[in-house]
Amino acid sequence: MTGLEAITLGQEAVNITLLLSAPPLIVGLVVGLAIAVFQATTQIQEMTITFVPKIVAVMLSLLFFASWMMIKLNDYTQDLLLRIPDLVR
């Protein structure tokens, strides 16, 4: 395996990690922003009110995107396993 192949494998691993983690992170960000705007308008400054809606929203997004995430991860893994013979030589 050359240095370029190792860098390519690392880059693909980082790309798939970012791609798979983006939906729950974006949902958490949007829900957190919505709650922050709600708290600012109503002047409720309770810190613990943000945790439960964020957790529920992220869990629902994981359930919603689970099949897509598994397909992407499966494709990446199959591609990686098929490239092993070429990488070993």
pLDDT at residue 69, as a whole number: 97
Q: 56-81 b/e with 16+ CB inside 10 Å = b? A: ebbeebeeebeeebeeeeeebeeeee
pLDDT at residue 88, as a whole number: 83
Query: What residues make up the domain containing 47?
Result: 3-88
Counted domains in the chain: 1
pLDDT band at 86 (very low <50, low <70, confident <90, very high): confident
Q: What is the pLDDT of residues 20-74, one digit of tens each?
A: 999 999 999 999 999 999 999 998 888 888 899 999 999 999 999 999 999 999 9
- Whose CA is closest to 53, among 39, 32, 81, 74? 32
